[in-house]
Structure 1
Amino acid sequence: MIELSTVIQDLREELEQSIAEAQGKNLQFELGAIELEVSLALEKSAGGKGKVRFWVVDLGAEGAVRSNAVQRVKLSLQPTVEVAGVRTSAFVSGRAGSLEQ
């Protein structure tokens, strides 16, 4: 399992790489809403602050986690970029990476 924040950070890095590769290209694609559906396991740590962490469950590992502890969550993310202090839609281009379809 990996933390949800790591999944989102990896997605952000892939999108930033695609945006950088699109600079100067005639053909670009406007990046619309991103829907990410994941299975999450919750973990609450004991102690003074009682932090709750969300773990993304690997498809093969779901059987190892109690089924009542796993929740399916769909996140809708609207990506934007900041250009000269103004937030605007992102445009991406370039070849698909090895794990992209």
Structure 2
Amino acid sequence: MIELSEVIAELRRELDEAMRAGAGHRLRFELGPVEVEASVAVERSGGADAKVRFWVLDAGADARIARSETHRISLTLHPKITGQSGPPEIAGPETERER
């Protein structure tokens, strides 16, 4: 199992890498909404610092998780780059007369 926050962090790293890899290329893509769907197990810990955690299930989830209640969630993320207006681009800077 992987924490949902780790899944989102890895997605962020992958999109950053796509932006770096596309730098200098003529063909560009604007990044639109990113949809993520996952099966999750919800765990609530007790005690003074109680919190709820969402665990994303992988294909090899063990029998213990298979017997617990799971939920399916869908997230739509709208990527933004700090200080930039408009959608991020995953293929380098805009060139003159491109659009």
Q: Give the C-alpha shift of residue 16 in structure 1.
A: 0.4
Aligned to 2:14: 14
Q: Give the C-alpha shift of residue 63 in structure 1.
A: 5.0
Aligned to 2:60: 60
Q: Note the residue ranges of structure 1 that are not aligned, 5 or more in a row.
A: 95-101
Determine helix, strand or coil for the equivalent of 2:81: strand
1:3-82 to structure 2, matched below 5 A, reads 3-61=3-61, 63-67=63-67, 69-82=69-82
More strand by share: 1
Q: Cα RMSD (Å) of the superposition? A: 1.9
Whole-angstrom CA distance in 2 between matches of 1:27 and 1:86: 20
* Number of matched pairs: 92
Name the stretch that deviates more: 35-44 or 61-70.
61-70
Q: Give the C-alpha shift of residue 69 in structure 1.
A: 1.5
Determine helix, strand or coil for the equivalent of 1:65: helix
TM-score of the aligned structures, taking structure 1 as reference length: 0.80
Cα gap change, 1:80/1:62 in structure 2, threshold over 3 Å: closer, same or farther?
farther
TM-score of the aligned structures, taking structure 2 as reference length: 0.81
Whole-angstrom CA distance in 1 between matches of 2:56 and 2:10: 13
Larger Rg: 1 or 2? 2
Aligned to 2:89: 91
Whole-angstrom CA distance in 1 between matches of 2:62 and 2:36: 18
